[in-house]
Every structure is written in C-alpha cells, then in structure tokens.
Amino acid sequence: MAAPRTLSKYWMLTNEFTQNPYPLLEHVRRESPVRELAFPDGGRAWVVTRYADARAALADPRLSRDIHVHYRLMAERTGRPMSPPPEEANHLANLEPPRHTPLRRAISFAFTPRRAEALRPRVAEIADGLLDRLAEQGPADLIAGYADPLPVITIAELMGVPAHSWPDFLRWSAALRTYSPTDTSGALQSTIAELSAYMSELIAQKEREPGTDLLSALIHADPERRLNSTEILSTGFALMTGGNDTTASLVGGVLAALLTHPAQRRRLLTEPGSWSASMDELIRYVSPISNALQRVTTEPVELGGVTIPAGEVVVICVMSTNRDTDQFPDRPDELDLDRPKPAHLSFGHGIHYCSGAHLAKVITEIAARRLFERFPDVRLAVAPERLEYVPNVVVRPLKALPVLLGA
C-alpha cells in the first residue's frame, strides 16, 4: 500500500504543480476534494476540485463575484483601505444581480455568436499576416508571434480600434496580464490610465460616428439595453484582460496539443468539417483556465462535505473538473476527438458563463487550421517535456512554443 501523500499548504502554488498539475489534482479529488490552500501573504482559500461540486458552486448566489465584496475582504486582510478602479468595477464578470442582470442582457444582445461568426474571414486574414512574419524567422515561437497577438488584434478590431493603435493594445494587454490589486509600484496604474484615456476617447468618437463594431452596438443600443459610458469602458477592459488572456492561453494550448498528437492533427486536416465539432474536446483536454475567477462566501456554504465559513475565498479548479472521472469516466487524461461533446467548465456555468465563448472557439479553430494547413510539416523544436507553463492562478499559458515550420 502506498504511503499517504503529504501536501504543502501552498500545494497549488509550487512550480511542480504549475508544470504538471494533473497527478496531484487526481489525488486531491480522491482524498480531500474541497481543500484549503494557503497564500504567502497569510491569506487562504478553499479549492473545489470535483466537477459536481464545482458546477454547484458556480451557480450558487452565496459565492459572490462582486468585486466590491472581494476588495472589502482584501482591505480587512491587508489593514489598508482598498477600492476597485471603475474600469474593473462595472462589467458583468465582476458584478452580481441586480446590477449584473441588465449588463448581461446588453452584452448578450451585442456580443452574439453571429457577430463572432462574421469575424471568421478577418480572423483568418490576421492569422495569415502573423504566419507570414513567422515564416521569415526560421525557428519560431508560436506564443509570442501567434497565440498572444491574434486574440488581442481580433478583439481590438471587434471593438472598432483602428489598425494603427494595435501596437499600443499589444503593449497594454501584456502589461495588464500582471495586474494585481495589491501592486504598489504604480506601473499598472499608469497602464490602466493610458488605456482608459484611449478607450474613453474611442467611445466618444463612436458616439459621434457609429460603426458596425461592438462598441458602437453597445453605445447605440435601444434604451432598455443601453449601458452608460462607465459600463461600456469597463466592458472594454474586460475584453482586453479576460478575453485576451484566456483566448491566448487556449490557442497556445490547442496548438501544443495538436503538435504532440499527430494522429489527431492528421485527422482534422483530412476531415476539415470536424474542426468545429472537436473544439470542446480540445478545450476540455487543454483546460486554458486553471481556476475560475475567485468567489467569496457571503454566508456559510457546504461543498463536498466541507462547511466553508462566510467571508472566505473559494477557488473553483476548472482544470481538475475537466478531468474528473465521475464526469468523464472514459480516459479523461487522453485527447479523444470522438468523445461525446464534453460538458466542460472552461467557460464557466450559470449567470457568469463566458459571453465570449463562441468567439474564443472561432479564434482558436482558425488559428489551428491556418497554421497546420499552411505548414503541414510544422514540428516542435524542443522535446515536449521541455515546454514550460507560466505560474498563474487563473489561466494556464505556455511560456513559449518553439517550432520549426518547414520540412
């Protein structure tokens, strides 16, 4: 019989976990599926690892996504006043009903699957332009040169940002990836101020001269669906941060998965009609979201047989739920393109289900198709075990994905 495994109180924050979390998550799901996690600053969280518990938690109104609740908790723990910037405090991912409800209605009206589908030709053009540059480099990094910029440029174009401003958006997006409310350097606040000033001017311009873009749709919506300028600005920030990071992590992860699964890649290339049907299995397998955005309990909540007190942070471990054998009993650690459409939690569940899920799928599908159709002999330039992931409690991005594009 194997000896019981002793875990560090920082078990989810170690580099070993970052690089290969799945063996440890399988152990945690089996032995203590709702487990405490300590943070170096003295705080703690409760990590939910089983699919059924996570799905229940994501739909439980006692687990709040309200950013003001989170900041009050941080203020209590740090002993200093803290309040969220308006750019972060007025979009639906950071709010609960009743404020969340009209925002969700407005975004759902403007940010439709039809709008995402209409972007397919343009996403392909952007992808081809990035691949043109990579083709000139010999050995190429698919993260820095492809997976990271493709969502930023696509989302900037979706919002109606002119092409000459894309370099600024790439710079702002890179800076915002490190956003932390406890940062005291001032660098991130400067980035937020720059982006806020730019977006405010863009919104004012589209009030005067509307286009066919998402910002114009929000600004000129019917009165019952219309957001105010602060809410539109905050929504733009949400797309720039959450939209870019999660989609970049997804694109990089799917490219890496197909580079290391040649049989599945060949099948997709010989059966092009199967790309869209395969996206959910690729997303489940890759798990671009490590953990859902943190919740705070507003009253005691029982999950997985554990009573979590009020005023506690709850982390819902999506990459664990996506390989839970109770939900995916047939070889969940394998990529199986014939798996019946998996009900993964990578885009959340309940009222906070990701509004941009369809767009993320479109961008990822096109990114993979264009790469492998154009460079059918592309291969990793390093052994798969040398690929490294960036430590991050929300997304799971690769540091780099070095490849050789030619034969």
Which structure tokens are listed for 198? 């730019």
CATH number at residue 53: 1.10.630.10
Q: Per residue of the chain (407 residues), give pLDDT as tens.
A: 344 567 889 999 999 999 999 999 999 999 999 999 999 888 899 999 999 999 999 999 999 999 999 999 888 888 888 888 888 888 888 999 998 988 888 888 777 888 889 999 999 999 999 999 999 887 899 999 999 999 999 999 888 999 898 888 888 877 776 655 556 667 777 888 888 899 999 999 999 999 988 899 889 988 878 888 888 888 888 887 777 889 999 999 999 999 999 999 999 999 989 999 999 999 999 999 999 989 999 999 999 999 999 999 999 999 999 999 999 999 999 999 999 887 999 999 999 999 889 999 999 999 999 999 999 999 999 999 999 999 988 999 999 999 999 75
Domain encompassing residue 85:
11-404
Q: For residue 91, is it within any domain?
A: yes
Whole-structure pTM value: 0.93
Q: For residue 4, is it within any domain?
A: no
Q: For residue 301, is it within any domain?
A: yes
Residues 6+ apart with CB under 8 A from 154: 119, 122, 123, 126, 359, 363
Q: What letter would DSSP give residue 341?
A: -
Would you give the end-to-end CA distance of the chain in angstroms?
49
How many residues are there in the chain? 407
Structural domain count of the chain: 1
Q: How far is the CA of 392 from the CAs of 19, 274, 358, 397, in angstroms? A: 11, 32, 24, 8
CB atoms within 10 A of CB 331: 11
Q: For residue 173, is it within any domain?
A: yes
CB 381 within 8 A of CB 404: yes
Q: For residue 1, is it within any domain?
A: no
